[in-house]
Structure 1
Amino acid sequence: MANTLVELIFIPAPGVGHIMSTVEIAKLLVNRDQRLSITVLVIKPPSVDSGSVIAAYIESLAKDNMDNHISFIQLPQDETSLIHDPNDLIFFNVFIPSHCKYVRNAVADMSSQPGSGRIAGFVIDMFCTCMIDVANEFNVPTYVFFTSNAAFLGFKFYIQTLTDDMNKDLIEIQNSDTEISVPSFVKPLPTKFLWDLVQTRQGLDCVLSSVRKLRKVKAIMVNTFLELETHAIESLTADISIPPVYPVGPILSLEGGSGAGKRFDDDIFRWLDSQPPSSVVFLCFGSLGSFDEVQVKEIARGLEQSGHRFVWSLRRPPSGDQTSIFPSDYEDPGVVLPEGFLDRTSGIGKVIGWAPQAAVLAHNAVGGFVSHCGWNSLLESLWFGVPSATWPMYAEQQMNAFEMVVDLGLAVEIKLDYRKDVFNPKAHNTVGVVTAGVIESGIRRVMEDNDVRTKVKEMSVKSRLTMMDGGSSYASVGLLIKDFITNVTCSS
């Protein structure tokens, strides 16, 4: 057995953040045990720009001499399942399932190669539960790598229990503008913060179908850590109907990122070098985050009124013609900013385009982070000890923001219920314009609330210790590796 490679098949969802997290957990596993070999099956996303970003990222990994225990196979794309709207439920119900046949062929080809390792299991994304059936055909177990948090995982299981066992209608509950007591959250969760995918009948049915499959996997790895989400993890562990849950995080991609291939102005870092420690607030809203001109002007006024130093990653919304879902950089940001803003703030702030988020958060001059509350971004902010001010946009980000602000006290609120269809640039958000006064208040709190800052600094230390020998996530990863190896030895 010592010389036999144990092969794992990883299938991430075709999103930049999902693939980057998958690569990081793959690197962690093979670095811990050289008997492991991982093949990542890459589903090309339907949008051209997403595909080019992912291709550039994978190409950059190859140039960096990625560990030879990790390889990538780009799957063919089923032309009949191509869709223009990546937020459409067809994405989960048709587009990803259309790749099952290509996964089946790729795994069969791998297995037939001389000297290939024994397959210990599939590790699939939470949106790829259709691949469980393919794993079963090869008689190997399926694991899930859950790229969001444990509280959200608990929510997914709870809504299935609510529907199937308690005969409750989540759609009716949401329409009543109430709260629900989800076991994985400490405080009752207002229904207005629920994941956008479960707010329609069609979306809820899709999610319930996926969760029923999720209960059949061998184990679930979650990108979180015990010290951060103690309550959520204990609630999942206590429910014997849920597969074993392994907190393995924080899994972070601290180099490159979704801006693979983009250049960044070193002048910004030189400017940060000249600022006092923890004095700069950094505004960055993820790879899909952008605002219309009215909202941009309110952010500018809020920043100016706060008096705090800032770095603002300001992006132009996509055109809306469906050729791109990603924002772009302004040639001249002054066209959307209040008149004279850039001149008045030239000494205390920088308005930039795309930013290498992790590198900016790592700088000791940065003392606050206005974030869209994607889970990867929140983990990065905790890793670097920078408190967040929450401005969620889509998907489960409102629930992430609620947990961080209300349950954990590790962030402050700008808005918790802001919601925007980022896949439809012409759609309006659900709460109207966030005013300069609200933004100013949030910035002041994130920069001046020492209680939150202290808690975040303490969690930063814990987030690093948990990944070291003796830490809880380190132990979880060790147990998983043992399980992978056992799968092969038992089937020999």
Structure 2
Amino acid sequence: MKQSVVLYPSAGTGHVVPMAELAKVFINHGFDVTMVVVPEFSSQFKRVAAANPSISFHVLPPVSPPPADVAGSGKHPLLSMLKTLRRYNEELERFLCSVTSRQHLHSLVIDMFCVDAIGVAARLGVPAYTFAPSSASALAVLTQVPTLLASSQRGLKELGDTPLEFLGVPPVPASHLNAELLERPEEELCSTVASVFRRGMDTRGVLVNTFQALETRALQALGDPRCVPGKAALPPIYCVGPLVGNSARDPPARAGERHDECLRWLDAQPERSVVFLCFGSMGAFSQEQLKEIATGLDKSGHRFLWVVRRPASSIFDPKRFLGRQPKLDLDAVLPEGFLERTRGRGLVVRSWAPQGEVLQHPATSSFVTHCGWNSVLEGVMAGVPMLCWPLYAEQRMNKVFMTGDMGVAVEMEGYQTGFVKAEAIEAKIRLVMESEEGRELRVRVAARTKEATAAMEAGGSSRVAFAQFLADVRSTRHNVCKL
């Protein structure tokens, strides 16, 4: 009988997609994998489930009364999501009991936001591990932030761009921490998020979507007791990435035409000639900013493929957070005549493009990105230099790491103010596409690509780390109480 692994993701593309890729790794090692889904988030998993028939998906029964809808709760979506996950602990426990009664349960792997499930696993004697879909560098910072907050009475927002020193990473401006952590320490949002990051280290180990050579300093820090004060022993860190793939990003059926359009258009472009702009599943700009981007692209004279989403005043608009977006009229949001003037050398698509395939295409030369970690890894795997335009979550920290120790990107000036001017967009595109600095950047990224490829090959660091994880689970199972 095969051993079974249960994966427990939270909401959001940046968490769902890499966990689906992790599921494939388990399946390739001979495990049955079930991904447990909270019903309020189930719509986000439909595409993943359709693209991955080898993964079983189990939607937990709805709780009664149902949790408040994220869009109408009045709370920050992250707080609402955490509360919703917490309310499903009993249903998760019932499901885990049913699995262990039918087959051999190897482990429970939880998303970093599903920390309330740690207690469930402990009660059942199920080995629990955390999966961090973010960078090891961000994880190192976030595990150190609770100590920093404990020493701050007024919060970190007033520090502005003051560089903060953390083990394992370059100095990080205070303003670049997750926005939720810049509130006063006693505020619910700040204290809850800080607690989540601290508790994520309370499992038997942490699987991280990265590879050893990319984040050596940060990984060393995560083994230093100063990184997580107060813990008698730190959990082992397993670098199992880069976990990237196209299958979990497959579009809805109606997007098939756009998929083909993007790739056909790239096929007609010269090699390494196209700037690709894509800002993630929640990357939204004001109409004024969209027009500024269009003007910068127009003036640069370079070929481009640009994914545009409906303008929004806030990244965390509840409907956008849940993926509900109305159809976009490009002519209404872009400068008059822009589409006509750039016809032939530019392509603008609504809402979605096959990002992995675009980045791997020979015509793609550079990538303007929001610095979501999935996108960063896809850029590294494709050997494409990146221009950083971070928007939310840990993306500003990723910018620091990408332009610092990793050496795979340059920053788009002006993102700190919330508005990037056309002149800055034009200048940075020209820098990456035309200058000696851009050529040196391309060489550094190519070296990272070789390291990433080597990590995932037989005998590579990530393959070895996953094997070590499996060995560690086996060696500790005699301490696990069977139901």
Pick the aligned partner of 1:433 from 399, 404, 419.
Answer: 419
Counterpart residue identity of residue 228, structure 1: L
Q: Deviations over 1:242-273 (max 9, x none)?
A: 31111110011223506343313323322211
CA distance in 1, matches of 2:179, 2:244: 25
Partner amino acid for 1:342?
L
Q: 1:193 matched to which residue of 2?
A: 176
Residues 202, 446 of structure 1: CA spacing in aligned structure 2 closer, same or farther, 3 A cutoff?
farther
State the partner residue of 1:227: 213
Write out per-residue CA displacement over residues 209-267 of structure 1, whole angstroms, 9 at most, x where no aligned residue.
Answer: 22342232111011001111111111112338431111110011223506343313323
Q: Residue 319 of structure 2 contacts residue 325 of structure 2 at CA under 8 Å; is this kept in 1?
A: no
The structure 1 residue matched to 2:237, chosen from 232, 241, 245, is 245
Judging changes above 3 Å, is the alpha-carbon distance between structure 1 residues 330 and 345 closer, same or farther for their aligned structure 2 residues? farther
Q: Which residue of 2 aligns with 1:425?
A: none
The SS at the match of 1:407 is coil
- Residue 378 of structure 1 deviates from its aligned partner by 0.5
Q: Does 1:181 align with 2:165?
A: yes
Provide the residue aligned with 1:283 in structure 2. 277
Which residue of structure 1 aligns with residue 338 of structure 2?
Answer: 341
Q: Does 153-162 or 126-135 show the bigger shift?
A: 153-162
Preserved contact between residue 398 and residue 416 of structure 1 (Cα < 8 Å): no
Please give the alpha-carbon distance, in whole angstroms, between the structure 2 residues aligned to 1:269 and 1:250. Answer: 24
Mapping of residues 243-392 of structure 1, within 5 Å = 243-257=235-249, 259-261=251-253, 262-265=255-258, 266-317=260-311, 322-325=318-321, 326=323, 328=325, 332-353=329-350, 354-392=352-390
TM-score where L is the length of structure 2: 0.89
SS of the aligned residue for 1:346 comes to: coil
Q: How does 1:96-245 map to 2 (within 5 A)?
A: 96-113=85-102, 116-117=103-104, 119-163=105-149, 167-169=150-152, 171-177=154-160, 178-185=162-169, 187-200=170-183, 201-239=187-225, 241=231, 242-245=234-237
Q: Deviations over 1:181-230 (max 9, x none)?
A: 01121x21110111112112322211232234223211101100111111
Query: Distance between the aligned counterparts of 1:228 and 1:409, measured in 2?
Result: 10
CA distance, structure 1, for counterparts of residue 324 and residue 299 of structure 2:
27
Question: How many residue pairs end up in the alignment?
Answer: 458
What is the SS of the residue equivalent to 1:399? helix
Paired letter, 1:129: V
Deviation, 1:111, is 2.2
User: In structure 1, what is the equivalent of residue 49 of structure 2?
Assistant: 58
Percentage identity across aligned positions? 35
CA shift in 2, pair 1:369/1:197, >3 Å: same
Give the SS at the match of 1:389.
Answer: strand
Residue aligning to 1:396: 394
Matched, 1:7 2:1: no
Aligned to 1:77: 62
Query: Which amino acid in the other structure matches residue 266 of structure 2?
Result: L
CA distance in 2, matches of 1:258, 1:328: 18
Query: What's the TM-score once normalised by structure 1's chain length?
Result: 0.87
Equivalent residue runs for 1:3-42 within 5 Å:
4-32=1-29, 34=30, 36-42=31-37
RMSD: 2.3
Q: What letter corresponds to residue 468 of structure 2 in structure 1?
A: L
**What are the superposed Cα offsets for residues 331-356 of structure 1, whole Å, 9 maximum, x if unpaired?**
54122211211121112111111211
The one-character-per-residue Cα deviations of 1:139-176 (angstroms, maximum 9, x if unpaired) are 1221101000111111111112334xxx5117534312
Shift of 1:327: 7.0
Extract unaligned runs of 5+ from structure 2: none
Amino acid at match of 2:428: G
